[in-house]
Structure 1
């Protein structure tokens, strides 16, 4: 496929489930077994459904990192490091401060644009108008993602890991299972199960 122009026909939900199940959260920096993006997505979806009873919202939570099966996981610290290095290189090259600032900011914008294009194809393939037709869903998905990030960091790295993360004053997500690594196969099957449960998508791997 052409990653610069993703099409609805390019999206394969079985491949998404398989790919995300082998993609480790936090670059795999924790001491335990791999905790995958697929498992994170399932936990976000289940928490949203437990908290709201809205299956479509839960489905949006399931798919919120779907672009990573094609784009990969770009951790925020890595993006910030690239932005900082771009700024340093341009500053050393004698560029004006406003140009340096704009170039550094453009790194994050370029990453976001790439993700958004893939997301657009994914949600169209899922038959969901997110994010364009569901602005409230966008806020709720971002909120559960931030709350889950903090809960996962504490579970995988210890209490101190959550001290500097967002959502510290918001309630912990309503989890339906403890945050313990499932392994790729269980995470893949759980992701496929939630696709069908929340969005009616049948995505059995061939």
Structure 2
């Protein structure tokens, strides 16, 4: 069954993906009214970090978001910063987790194809591909933040920096826990930042616990639990 599409003029393309109720989420023009934080919590709790390539049970994006938000709050006492981190991967409930290696690989192939086609400025094409992928995520993030009652994080430089740094710190801690210490020298970017102040080890929770924890932090840090049905 083809999902119902929004009414657009012939000049406005629509790229629909499913919502859980079978209606359409327009990826080109996401609106705050499209965002369901309950669906987000449920979806992210089933979405595995690192494509699930480790040997243990799935460590979910929801758990990553909760543990990072808790660590950021523990370090800063700032619930708004923690709320931003909780939602920083919110776009993945509509897009899936486009991993960093996947982004790098897409950029590599776009640059190579541009060079083979004789396109001048292949480096510019490579940078443009990176900007395009970032724009895809950002367009959904803006709708997520609006639905949460938060300013677009890209306009709040202090929080944007905190979230980027915590994401890198969590990446290193998670990869070390899930793949072992050797991952630091093989697949991780060089990050000269302290480890996050976590409570307990990084051990997969399971989808139900991760979903409920995500909803709990929505209330705790963002105050939107009433929308998380």
TM-score by length of 2: 0.84
Gaps (5+ residues) in structure 2? 1-24
Distance 1:190 1:53 in 2: 19
Partner of 1:94: 118
Give the whole-Å Cα distance in 2 for the aligned partners of 1:149 and 1:82: 20
1:187-206 Cα distance to aligned partner (Å, 9 max, x none)? 11100000011111115765
The count of corresponding residues between Structure 1 and Structure 2 is 204
Partner of 2:163: 141
Aligned to 2:52: 28
CA distance in 2, matches of 1:103, 1:169: 30
Task: Tell me which stretches of 4 or more aligned residues in structure 1 moved more than 6 Å.
Answer: none
> Which gives a bigger RCO, structure 1 or 2 (Cα 8 Å, sep 6+)?
1
Query: What aligned pairs does 1:1-206 form with structure 2 within 5 A after superposition?
Result: 1-96=25-120, 98=121, 100-163=122-185, 165-166=188-189, 168-202=191-225, 206=229
Where structure 1 has 5 or more consecutive residues not aligned to the other structure, the ranges are none
Deviating more after overlay: 101-110 vs 145-154: 101-110
CA shift for structure 1 position 132: 4.2
3-state SS in 2 of match to 1:163: helix
Q: 3-state DSSP class of the match of 1:105?
A: helix
Give the Cα–Cα distance (whole angstroms) in 2 for the partners of residues 85 and 130 of structure 1: 31
Contact 1:7 1:121 in 2 (8 A): yes
1:34 and 1:183 in contact (8 A); partners too: yes
What TM-score does the superposition give when structure 1 sets the normalisation length? 0.93
Give the whole-Å Cα distance in 1 for the aligned partners of 2:156 and 2:116: 44
Q: Distance in 1 between matches of 2:80 and 2:54?
A: 32
What SS is found at the alignment partner of 2:26? coil
Alignment-derived partner of residue 18 in structure 2: none
Q: Can you list the C-alpha shifts for 1:143-198, whole angstroms capped at 9, x where unaligned?
A: 11100100000000001112363464321100023100011111111000000111
Matched position secondary structure for 2:71? helix
